[in-house]
Amino acid sequence: MDIEYFDYFLPKELIAQEPAKPRTHSRLMVLKGNQIIHERFYNIINYLEEGDVLVLNETKVIKARIKGKKSTGGKIELMLEGNGGTAIVKGKVKLCDELFFPKDIIGTIIEKNENKVKVKFNKSISKIIDDIGELPTPPYIKKPLEKDSQYQTEYAEKLGSLAAPTAGLHFDKDLLKKIGKKRVKLAKVCLHVSWDTFLPVREKDPTKHVMHGEYCEIDKKNADLINNAKRLFVVGTTALKTLESLAEKGKVIPGQKLSTLFIYPGYKFRLGYSGLITNFHLPKSTLIMLVSAFYGREKILKAYSTAVKEKYRFYSLGDAMLLLRENSHPQ
């Protein structure tokens, strides 16, 4: 397998810089066999039936980005990882450098490994995040968010992600309520998105790419919902990865783990799925490989080519896809 198999052309102007308003009015491309159907996201309800289970990732994005200056006056940006002071740094730093942030926050570089650093701060990480933290939107989004809620799902509950599970950004409370009234059950899982999801694949043979791990969990109540689903629909690649990470012999096993699972074409899925809701992903990324494994590389690339021609909006704040498998309709 060659990484070039997962490349495609995307004009920069199709990279979404803000979400659809309202969020349910984004476009929705439905893939059904060899058909491509163009919808609006609020019509997702028409593809769901009583007894279906819709799986959501209830992770919540941390305000992990902090901006400051070096003693020389040069700008610096850190993306904090957890409470230990480790961070991804944007800007040139060296050991023992002092970094100065608003609200009298000072940090000193005590370890450095390429663009990863460990910083000793004069205040607690939780206090720093509360005082000056910003949501870490991807670098291709140049326009500031109008409000933080635009980069959180309506059902975000558990703090821990460095990025939003973006397929879920298309749902609002009203749509979720309508889905519930249709007697579709909502199952909640959690995967805290780390840099693992976004690290570029540098290997020519992508199967040699190493995943470093993302925390995920499913409790017994939600595992039972999933295991007893009439049909199973999954919102986002992170929710799918959680299910596959905790599945054995065709069932989800309640538990938690650090998942290093890397899904690419040839992967044998452990559960039966009727559909996956997902956004349009970056070329040569682990996520486009995952959806290619789920639905077929040629069909995915054909759909992406159609999306470019039809001027769909791409990436985190862009439009959505619904990938329907053959068993997606009741007998």
Q: Indicate whether 86 and 189 sit together in one domain.
A: no
31 and 156 inside one domain: yes
Per-residue pLDDT for 53 more than 60? yes
The set of residues, in sequence order, having a beta carbon less than 8 Å from that of 21 and lying 6+ positions away, is none
pLDDT at position 327 over 80: no
In CATH, what number is assigned to the domain containing residue 123? Answer: 2.40.10
**Number of compact structural domains in the chain:** 2
Instruction: Specify if 137 maps to a domain.
Output: no
> CA–CA distance from 246 to each of 189, 233, 239, 263 (Å)?
11, 16, 11, 14
Question: Model's pTM, two decimal places?
Answer: 0.92
Structural Rg of the chain based on CA atoms: 20
Tell me the CA distances in angstroms from 173 to 147, 201, 277, 288, 327, one per residue in order: 17, 36, 17, 28, 28
Residues 111 and 151 in one domain: no
* pLDDT (mean) for 42-64: 97
The pLDDT tens digits for 300-320 are 999 999 999 999 999 999 999
Q: Which of 132, 153, 175 is the last residue of a domain?
A: 132
Domain that includes residue 17, residue range:
3-61+143-324
pLDDT-derived band of residue 196, with 50, 70 and 90 as boundaries?
low
Same domain, 192 and 69: no
Q: How far is CA 294 from the centre of its chain?
A: 16
Q: What is the mean pLDDT of the chain?
A: 94
Hey, what are 102's tokens?
A: 């608003």
**330 in any annotated domain:** no
What is the rounded average pLDDT of the residues 96-107? 96
Give the containing element (helix H, strand E) for 131: helix 125-132
Tens digits of per-residue pLDDT, 226-251? 999 999 999 999 999 999 999 999 99
Same domain, 319 and 216: yes
On whether both 78 and 182 belong to a single domain, the answer is no
The closest of 271, 222, 286, 280 to 54, measured between CA atoms, is 222
Single residue among 132, 166, 181 that ends a domain in this structure: 132
pLDDT at 83 over 80: no
For residue 273, is it within any domain?
yes
**300 belongs to a structural domain:** yes
